[in-house]
């Protein structure tokens, strides 16, 4: 009987109970867990003359817990290191490059059952002279 049930797969009628979808085989109808990867805030850093700054340090700090995340900008002046692990409290974001610092920006979060989305979704920080 075991071989017969195996042949039927998980769609079988056993003792009046219908069992469906119990195999672990890949399926086009199955989706990856969209809650697994945290959402990030896109931050770009510019110099006072408008050039993108590579290697700037961007720090976001949760305004309630004081926990922070720091990331470095890439060759396009962008970092996505700041993510929803700092949510749901507002965060303060600031960038530095050498002796130059940006004004701090406040970011809020909109949360659902799966993710917290940064509001705004991206920032452009300009270094002060």
CA–CA–CA angle 125, 94, 120 (5° rounding): 60
Give the tens place of pLDDT for each residue, 5-43: 444 444 443 344 444 444 444 545 555 667 888 899 999
> Is 77 buried (19+), middle (13-18) or exposed (0-12) by CB count in 10 A?
buried
Average pLDDT over residues 98-109: 97
Tokens of 5: 């049930």
Average pLDDT over residues 110-122: 95
Question: pTM above 0.85?
Answer: no
Q: What is the DSSP letter of 24?
A: -
What are residue 5's phi and psi, to 5 degrees?
-65, -35
CATH number of 42-126: 2.60.40.1120
Would you place residue 101 in the very low, low, confident or very high pLDDT band (cuts 50, 70, 90)? very high
């Amino acid at each position: 009987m075991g071989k017969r049930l195996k042949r039927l797969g998980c769609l079988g009628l056993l003792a009046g109970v219908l069992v469906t979808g119990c195999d672990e085989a890949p399926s086009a109808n199955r989706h990856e867990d969209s809650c697994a990867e945290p959402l990030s805030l896109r931050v770009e850093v510019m110099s006072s003359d408008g050039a993108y700054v590579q290697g700037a340090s961007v720090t976001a700090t949760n305004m309630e817990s004081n926990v922070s995340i720091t990331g470095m900008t890439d060759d396009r002046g962008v970092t996505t290191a700041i993510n929803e692990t700092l949510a749901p409290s507002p965060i303060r974001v600031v960038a530095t490059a050498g002796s130059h610092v940006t004004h701090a920006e406040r970011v809020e979060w909109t949360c659902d059952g799966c993710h917290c989305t940064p509001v705004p979704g991206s920032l452009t920080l300009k270094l002060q002279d």
